[in-house]
Amino acid sequence: MVALTARSQSIRSSSHLTMQTVEIGAQTIAIRSLDWDRDRFDIEFGLRNGTTYNSFLIQAEKTALIDTTHGKFGQLYMDALTGLIDLSTLDYLIVSHTEPDHSGLVKEVLELAPQVTVVGAKIAIQFLENMVHRPFKSQIVKNGDRIDLGNGHELEFVSAPNLHWPDTIFTYDPKTQILFTCDVFGMHYCDDHTYDEEPALVEDDFKTYYDCLMGPNARSVLSALKRIEKLKIGTIATGHGPLLQNYIPDWISRYQNWSQEVAKTDNLVALFYAQDYGHSDQIARTIARGIARTEVAVELVDLNEVDPHEVRELVNQAKGLVIGMPAQSSNLAHAALSTILAAAHNKQTVGLFETGGGEDEPIFPLRNKFQEIGAIEAFQPILIKEAPNPAIEQACDEAGTHLGQWLTRDRNIKQIKSINNDLERALGRISSGLYTITAKKDDLINVTIASWVTQASLEPLGVAIAIAKDRAIESMLHVGDRFVLNVLEEGNYQKLMRHFLKRMPSGDDRFAGIKTYPATDGTPILADALAYMECEVSSRMECSDHWIVYSTVKTGRVAKPDALTAVLHRKVGNHY
């Protein structure tokens, strides 16, 4: 065993990946993989501060490694780990959940530690069997189960399903009072500090992380918080970002308050799906992300785990229902679907999807039943027969946004109607130009009409655009993304505006019949625009229901030097 002082040791690689090993408690070492430059996590996260993947080693009479790291750290991590322990003596590998950024090197560890017992929730072990393609010893743990490593390290497991993976478990070590939570309480934030010394630096990332990953499972968060209530926690050893030590009650109460807020909301979509079926999990999360953009709460529920009482309660509360139909349903899923149908009513908005199904498409009989009930269909049934690609993801994301927009339409109409107000009339006198924003990412293209656009800097030349949080294009306007700002022409914008404001089914070509030519990165430039600018997003500021997206202008051209910019004169300031 290598003795470490409380000071950390760092190993740096050439590609802005570094390792930090630091003692965080008796016989306990954090092995932190620092990914300084990572700028994106899944499609939803534009990262500002990189991220870390934290793994932990406890070396008592017996030894346990808690999680590994992202595969990109490969040899760097293995060198740090094998510098601390001879892997042929490792007793346990605890897998908090099987997401690849924490289990990316499980296979490599198993190769050097074939004797190790892998510990995890039942689904985690099943997932791993499919991932590593080699036999290994395993121990399935449930809530309250313990493993004694000796010297007082009697590890206790806490089941925390859905946070944010189905197989999540926490590990609590009473000797050091460290609770290992993996994703939960994590954040994408990378620096050399091991702990949360300055909460102001990280609280935004803590919130964003909660919103993206935990918010859709607010009820499950509350159940997990209840389970850890009785524990005396000195450190929360998270899987991403700094470990929490200095403000633990505050961090926990933030999770508590945000989750309670979501759980009691009256604008809720219950999204039922079978987590371990095909690509159901990925599709469910993508639709949930689209819904969340409209500030409607989403609760993801596994059809195979939920009890009928909870289903009834959720369906009674929810304004929208999304159901991911498993092609072959288990008895439990079948019972849950019957309970949903029995509790559903004609004021509800419904969306259905099916992944991996064959020709029988059980989604259609289900759709007929909802039609008989009189429920409103939010989007056409989504049938996914192949692995989701970016275009499928975009269609699912947009389907979720449409559902959310439908559920918030009353609120928005009310807002627009409340025009008898001097303030709103005064604000309406702010006039602006008319623009079309086109954006392209990988093979996905999106477009929106915008008027809240202004030049925002001289050196470098920069523009600011206010983009509503529930705009589908919003996910393509994160820091580092490029887009084209097309300036519309006075007297010649109506056709373009009508075209792009028309609601089209997700997946349709929004540029059909519109003349375009490609910008440097292939983004469509509208041939009928008066001028265009190619821009790159440098920063974003959250402003209530909009993001202000500040971007530098890289290049541009005026196509019609004598024409004027289309101007929008409004009467009231409570809509565009």
Q: Closest approach of Cβ 1 to ligand FMN, in Å?
A: 56
Strands 320-325 and 268-273: parallel
Q: Is 289 in the site for ligand FMN (CB under 6 A)?
A: no
> Could you give the strand order of the β-sheet that contains 17-25, starting from the edge strand earlier in sequence?
9-12, 17-25, 28-35, 51-59, 63-66, 92-94, 117-120, 137-140
Do the beta carbons of residue 403 and residue 320 sit within 8 Å?
yes
Nearer to ligand FMN, 136 or 500 (CB): 500
Binding status of residue 568 toward ligand FMN by CB under 6 A: yes
CB of 314 or CB of 467, closer to ligand FMN: 467
Closer residue to ligand FMN, CB minimum distance, 125 or 467: 467
End-to-end CA distance of the chain: 65
Cβ at position 9, least distance to ligand FMN in Å: 48
Q: How far is the CB of 205 from ligand FMN (least distance, A)?
A: 24
Instruction: Tell me whether residue 134 or residue 575 sits nearer to ligand FMN (CB atom).
Output: 575
Cα 222 vs. chain centroid, distance in angstroms? 19
Strand positions, DSSP E, 105-145: 117-120, 137-140
Least distance in Å: CB of 399 to ligand FMN? 11
- For residue 277, the minimal CB distance to ligand FMN (Å) is 29
Three-state DSSP state, 328: coil
Min separation Cβ 490 and ligand FMN, Å: 14
Give whichever of 151 and 408 is closer to ligand FMN, judged by the CB atom.
408
How would you classify the pairing of strands 482-487 and 531-543? antiparallel
CB of 467 to ligand FMN, least distance (A): 4
Site for ligand FMN in 438-477 (CB under 6 A): 448-452, 466-468, 471-473
Q: How far apart are CA 464 and CA 548, in angstroms?
A: 6
DSSP letter at 489 equals B
Q: Give the C-alpha separation, 336 to 343, whole Å.
A: 11
For ligand FMN, the binding residue among 6, 200, 501, 512 (CB under 6 A) is 501
Q: Which residues of 331-354 are buried (b: 16+ CB within 10 A; e: fewer)?
A: ebbebbbebbbebbeeebbbbbbb
Question: Where would I find the H helices in 32-95?
Answer: 74-84
Report the residue number, 394 or 451, with the smaller CB distance to ligand FMN. Answer: 451
Which one among 144, 148, 372, 576 touches ligand FMN, defined by CB under 6 A? Answer: 576
Question: Can you tell me the distance from the alpha carbon of 461 to that of 538, in angstroms, rounded to the nearest whole number?
Answer: 12
What x/- string results for residues 394 through 433 when contact with ligand FMN is judged by CB under 6 A? Answer: ----------------------------------------
Q: How many residues lie near ligand FMN (CB under 6 A)?
A: 15
For ligand FMN, the closer CB: 450 or 537:
450
Whose Cβ is closer to ligand FMN: residue 68's or residue 286's?
286
List CB contacts of 319: < 8 A, sequence separation 6 or more.
Answer: 266, 267, 268, 269, 296, 347, 348, 349, 407
**How far apart are CB 449 and ligand FMN at their closest, in Å?**
4
* Chain residues in the site for ligand FMN (CB under 6 A): 448-452, 466-468, 471-473, 500-501, 568, 576
